[in-house]
Amino acid sequence: MDIIHLLPDSVANQIAAGEVIQRPASCLKELVENSLDAGATRIQVLVRDAGRTLLQVIDDGSGMSETDARMAFERHATSKIAKAQDLFALRTMGFRGEALASICAVAQVEVMTRRKEDEVGTLLEIHGSEVVRQEPCQCPIGTNFKVKNLFFNVPVRRKFLKTDQTELRNLLTEFYHIVLVYPKVQFTFVHNDEVILELPVGTEKQRIEAVFGKSGGKSYTGQFVDVATDTELVSIRGFIGKPEAATKNAQQYFFVNGRYMRHPYFHKAVMTAYSGMLTGETNPSYFIYFDVAPETIDVNIHPTKTEIKFQDEQMIFQILMAAVRESLGKFNLTPSLDFNREGEIEMPVGDLDAGKPRVVFDPNYNPFTRPSKSSTQGWEKLYTPNSRDTRVSPDSAFQTRNLSDDAQPPQLFETPVSELTPYIYNKYLLLPTTAGLMLVHYRRAHIKVLYEQYLKQMSAGKGVSQQLLFPEVIDMSPDDMVLLESIIDELRFAGFELDQFSKTSYSISGIPALLNAQDAQTALQNILHAVRETATSATDHWRKQIALSLAKDTAIPYTQTLTEEEAKHLLDQLFVLPDYRLTPDGKTICVLLSDDDLARKFA
Ligand code: ADP
Ligand code: MG
């Protein structure tokens, strides 16, 4: 008997809904974005019980015809793109055509909609993907969308919802992301019959004031200076807080082409511009709006669409940093600061992963030819005693020449390392020293440096964490659940924020700052794997395994090469470590070719 069959649409939609609709906030986002795409000028959001029982969005947009209203709930039904190329010219918020299909799979949906040209509107009711009512109705122009009892048919998800307070906060956060870029649209947010926000049409600054102004007492936006720059690549506008107005809890927002985005790398650019101006642990507020050609960004990498990839991130980093600095300088906010000291800007190697683009892609890299072909034509081959044996690994070729304690001369470098310019060759950094030519395996060096950082953070009990906007759910076997439970404290110390989601899954809502959001699950799996492999259950041992596993997942991959600055910085960090010659798992980081070694080669 054949056993494979296609899933009914309702089941497929419910599964896919897990990705798009994770909580009331994601549902709200999709509905409001649809209203904006429909050209609405006034949008009302009515919420009951933090969205658990009701989430209603009323707009005065284009409305839908009877057929379109029915079509809208089909998966991949969209009026916004027709062919793959359209994806590159996106100017609308939605485009996947999956939101409504996903929402109606996990809720009881009622929609009333009417177009300008129609006498009567359409009422449609759908429960768990099933149409239960469709009839003509009297209603104003626009669309009135009610989502009732979200997750009524997915108890696990319903249980996963946090307290009303938390979910309401999530709803508002999502609402802010949208209203801050649409000051020309009037918005209302009502929760349990109480008007929480009433936002009239205005300028961006007025909108920011209307949203955040009440908290401070004095004018919130009065503490801002303008940022503006226009280049061929990008136009940047916005407002940044004066350094003296910085607080622990700052509002920091980036938007691109009318869409909220998270961008840790650009955040770094802003913070770098502020460096030296902030006291203690305070942060500046910023609201920065980017405009770029749509084809130079990729919004299609995650269903929730907050991670955005730019083609020219490195350049934009520089432009943004310069723009922020100029604003801070123009308003004479920091007379003591010398803006010409470009060279002093720290670009920690550890941030490579947050902002990959500074790293040059090696077009010659081919995972199938290395290391047996291309890289053995490099140094390894030259220095392998028997160079015909191409199977000799890069490491074993140098094994005999590892730095041993007594071989280490009292002084390795004549000049401080930071003043030397390493030559970058293949996977290695080449450095002249008084004792000979030093080769440093840079990925391993990076692993070592990061490992020490993680260990330090973990033993201090405070890992640096970044929030995931929407938690990711990771499914696990029962034994992994037990294993994870036993190391959960250590994981939290490392910067993970984890909550049990169901009997067989955890949700990840925060990850170590250096980790890429899309690598979170893999990194966690790798950690579980590493810990599973260790025989002992001593906390100390686990900690080391976790630190090492994370270091490997965040260190620069072989496929990327370093800039000179990064190489220098990496070496600076490496050479202060007590045993910088070996990775935590005993692999060689540095090899020294003494003058004698070289002389012998040329004998
Ligand atoms: P997407 O927004 O990605 O196209 P959705 O599932 O969110 O996909 O919506 C499907 C379609 O339904 C949209 O393309 C649009 O044509 C229509 N639609 C949804 N909401 C509205 C609305 N509030 N007003 C008018 N049309 C709407
Ligand atoms: Mg949509």
Q: Residue 352 — very low, low, confident or very high, per pLDDT cuts 50/70/90?
A: very low
What is the whole-number distance in angstroms between the Cα of residue 80 and the centre of ligand 2? 9
Does residue 425 register a pLDDT over 80? yes
Atom of ligand 1 nearest to the CA of 142: 24
For the residues of 515-566, what is the DSSP string, one character each?
A: S-GGGHHHHHHHHHHHHHH-S---HHHHHHHHHHHHHHHHSPPTTEE--HHH
Mean of the per-residue pLDDT values for the chain? Answer: 79
Question: For the chain, what percent of residues have pLDDT higher than 70?
Answer: 74
Cα of first residue to Cα of last residue in the chain, in angstroms, is: 75
For 77-123, write each residue's pLDDT tens digit. 676 655 545 544 555 555 566 789 889 989 999 999 999 999 999 99
Per-residue model confidence (pLDDT) at position 482: 72
For 65-80, write each residue's pLDDT tens digit. 999 999 888 877 676 6
**Minimal CA–CA distance to 111: which of 63, 47, 78?**
63
Mutate to test the pocket of ligand 1, among 31, 59, 67, 78 (most ligand atoms within 8 A of CB): 78
For 441-462, write each residue's pLDDT tens digit. 999 999 999 999 999 989 888 7
Token pair in block for residue 188: 């209302």
Q: Residue 306 — very low, low, confident or very high, per pLDDT cuts 50/70/90?
A: low
Token pair in block for residue 205: 């600054």
Does residue 61 register a pLDDT over 90? yes
Q: How far is CA 186 from CA 259, 260, 307, 589, in A?
A: 17, 18, 27, 60
**Over residues 527-549, mean pLDDT:** 80
**Over residues 512-538, mean pLDDT:** 80
Vertex 553: Cα angle to 551 and 555 (nearest 5)? 60
Question: For the chain, what percent of residues have pLDDT higher than 90?
Answer: 37
For 542-589, write each residue's pLDDT tens digit. 899 999 999 999 998 877 878 888 888 899 889 888 888 899 988 999
Q: Residue 269 — very low, low, confident or very high, per pLDDT cuts 50/70/90?
A: very high
Q: Which residues line ligand 1 (CB under 6 A)?
A: 30, 34-35, 37-38, 59, 61-64, 72, 77-80, 94-101, 143
The more confident residue out of 235 and 302 is 235
Reduced to 3 states, what is the DSSP secondary structure of residue 19?
A: helix
